[in-house]
Structure 1
Amino acid sequence: MSDDIIDLESDDQSIDDLGPVDYLVVEFPVGTSTFNGEMAGQLADLVAAGTIRLLDLMVIHKDEEGSIDAFEVDDIEGLDDLRGLETEIAEILAAEDVVHLAAAMENGSTAGVLVWENAWAAPFASATRRAGGQLVATGRIPIQAIAASIEAEIHDSTEGE
């Protein structure tokens, strides 16, 4: 992500109070998207519950020739559930971030880009920093890998029967 500074002054929150920040890009190839508002509703629920704090949300479209258009949430019709969250958005994605993210997309596809603070983890992250700790690694385990591992364990345990 860009090196832009998040303005936390308006939230009476310092950088030391932040939880971990994550991002994801979800691509929808041509003809596969069936937007019905469910994703927007789920995201709004996560913000309302205090689980996350939405920092940036945009949609990137890459046409058949590879040209890129990026839209912030307030520029897109039909996202009323998310428009109410726009005061929470710090808009930290820069133009070079959009170009970098779009490079991984197929021509003709559309992608949603979401940047959020894991607000639920902020108190633990702050305590860790106050104790002198620093993050040295982070990662994700895809759900498909967990399912495959469980299936392999079940197969191994039933093989000897």
Structure 2
Amino acid sequence: MDVETMGPVDYLVIEFPGNRMTGEGVPLLLDLVERGVIRILDLAFIRKDADGTISALKIEDLDAEGAAEFAVFEGASSGLLGDDELREAADVIEPGNSAGIMVYENTWAAPLAMAWRRGGAQMVASGRIQIQALLAAAESSA
């Protein structure tokens, strides 16, 4: 992994209520990868039982439909997701649910990031505005 040529790296934790991973978004995710918009660096799955017990899931542990949909990402592991990160992800999901944790490079931004680095700039902060905050802001201004 050549960090000098990479775009910004983000992560997502997607909660699946009732451990139902349907794979519905996988074709859209694949499209982003195939078009070079993002590159998947890590993909992991966890389950949080009703008693709070956390277990890592492998793609083959998913139901047949989920396993088939996610099989293309098997082996996506850069080493950025370790046990500590999986525990942190488990802290934000409810018992009885599962989650997918994805670390991805924004490859669309790599040329811009490289140009800034060549000019001596560096990213000092980044963030994301959650959709719930956007909805609340839209409702309050209406």
**TM-score (norm. length: structure 2):** 0.83
Deviation at 1:86, TM superposition (A): 3.9
**Counterpart in the other structure of 2:33:** 47
Letter of the structure 2 residue corresponding to residue 63 of structure 1: D
SS at match of 1:115: strand
- Bigger shift: residues 77-86 or 121-130: 77-86
How big is each residue's C-alpha offset from its partner over 1:89-110, in whole Å with a ceiling of 9 and x where there is no partner?
4242111211122122222111
Q: Which amino acid aligns with 1:26?
A: I
Q: Deviation at 1:29?
A: 2.7
Distance 1:147 1:125, change over 3 A: same
**Sequence identity, in percent?**
43
Deviates more, 1:69-78 or 1:90-99: 69-78
Which has more radius of gyration?
1
Q: Where does the alignment leave 5 or more consecutive residues of structure 2 unmatched?
A: none
The match for 1:118 is 106
**Equivalences for 1:120-139 in 2 at 5 Å?**
120-139=108-127
C-alpha contact (below 8 Å) 1:57/1:73 kept by paired residues? no
Residue among 52, 71, 86 paired with 1:83: 71
Residue pair 1:44, 1:82 contacting (<8 A) in 2 also: no
Deviations 1:105-139 (A, max 9, x none): 22211111111000000110111111110111211
Residue by residue over 1:9-49, the C-alpha shift from the partner in whole angstroms, topping out at 9 and shown as x without a partner, is: xxxxx210010000011112337x3x433211111111001
Match status 1:69 vs 2:79: no
Q: What's the TM-score, normalizing by structure 1?
A: 0.74
Q: Could you list the runs of 5+ residues in structure 1 that have no partner in the other structure?
A: 1-7, 9-13, 156-161
What amino acid is the match of 1:43?
A: L
Q: CA RMSD in A?
A: 2.3
Greater mean deviation of Cα atoms: 76-85 or 50-59: 76-85
Letter matched to residue 37 of structure 2:
T
Check whether the contact 1:40–1:79 (CA below 8 A) recurs between aligned residues.
no
Does 2:87 align with 1:99? yes
